[in-house]
């Protein structure tokens, strides 16, 4: 089965699924309640066939982008109710003042134990991502809960460059 994820011009996430053994391509549109400027960036498929996708979104009433991660049922027709809240989890690093606290998904992966790891660029202070950002990692267990055994409460940031430079 081949999967793809992306973003429409109207700010919805689309998924595309094609089973080359007798299946017709299937495209679906997805939204997140109370979110605008939704972006779909990455998708991986768990060994049991359930796709996990992620990106970032602007939370309504704020100026900051946070990460989101969703899991669908194996055929991609609906979200997986056993993951997070109705198939969705969100996370914001919230390490910078409001207005300078954006998080952007770079990629997501599954670790050897089936946990979901998000890699992000997280803004750490006033300026732009070109001048003030770190790498951020978030790990969720298979139920969509933050993994308390990873970093601080399931998340951590890494600063490879001294000061407030871009990592």
pLDDT given at position 167: 47
Bin 65: left if φ > 0, else alpha if -120 < ψ < 50, else beta. beta
The DSSP bridge partners found for residue 58 are 36, 65
| Stretch 47-56: mean pLDDT | 96
For 8-41, how does the pLDDT look when each residue is reduced to its tens digit (9 = 90+)?
A: 988 899 999 998 887 789 999 998 888 888 999 9
Alpha-carbon distances, residue 124 vs 14, 90, 128, 142, 167 (angstroms): 30, 19, 9, 29, 11
For 55-109, how does the pLDDT look when each residue is reduced to its tens digit (9 = 90+)?
A: 999 878 888 889 999 999 999 999 999 999 999 999 998 776 666 678 999 999 9
For 100-146, how does the pLDDT look when each residue is reduced to its tens digit (9 = 90+)?
A: 678 999 999 999 999 999 999 888 766 555 556 788 999 999 999 99
Name which residue leads in pLDDT, 63 or 155: 155
The DSSP bridge partners found for residue 88 are 70, 85
pLDDT given at position 125: 66
Alpha carbons within 13 angstroms on the beta-carbon side of residue 142 total 9
Alpha carbons within 13 angstroms on the beta-carbon side of residue 64 total 21
Q: For residues 160 and 151, give the distance between their C-alpha atoms in angstroms, rounded to a whole number.
A: 16
Instruction: Identify whether the C-beta of residue 14 lies closer than 8 Å to the C-beta of residue 28.
Output: yes
pLDDT > 60? residue 164: no
Q: For residues 73 and 24, give the distance between their C-alpha atoms in angstroms, rounded to a whole number.
A: 17
Contacts 24+ apart (CB under 8 A), 121-125: 121/167, 122/93, 122/95, 122/96, 122/157, 123/95, 123/96, 124/95, 124/96, 124/157, 124/159, 124/164, 125/96, 125/97, 125/100, 125/164
pTM, two decimals, is 0.88
- Using the structure block, give the residue that is written with the tokens 């066939």: 49
């Amino acid at each position: 089965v081949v999967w793809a994820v992306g973003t429409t011009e109207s700010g919805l996430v689309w998924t595309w699924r094609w089973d080359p053994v007798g299946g017709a391509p299937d495209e679906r549109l997805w939204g997140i309640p109370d979110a605008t400027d939704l972006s779909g960036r990455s998708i991986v498929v768990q060994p049991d066939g359930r796709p996990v996708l992620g990106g970032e979104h602007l939370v309504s009433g704020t100026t900051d982008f946070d990460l989101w991660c969703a899991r669908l049922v194996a055929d991609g027709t609906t979200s997986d109710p056993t993951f997070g809240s109705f198939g969705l989890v969100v996370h914001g690093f919230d390490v910078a003042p409001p207005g300078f606290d954006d998080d952007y998904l770079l990629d997501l992966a599954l670790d050897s134990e089936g946990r979901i790891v998000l890699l992000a660029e997280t803004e750490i202070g006033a300026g732009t991502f070109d001048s003030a950002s770190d790498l951020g990692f978030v790990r969720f267990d298979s139920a969509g809960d933050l993994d308390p055994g990873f970093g601080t409460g399931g998340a951590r940031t890494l600063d490879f460059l001294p000061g407030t430079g871009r990592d």
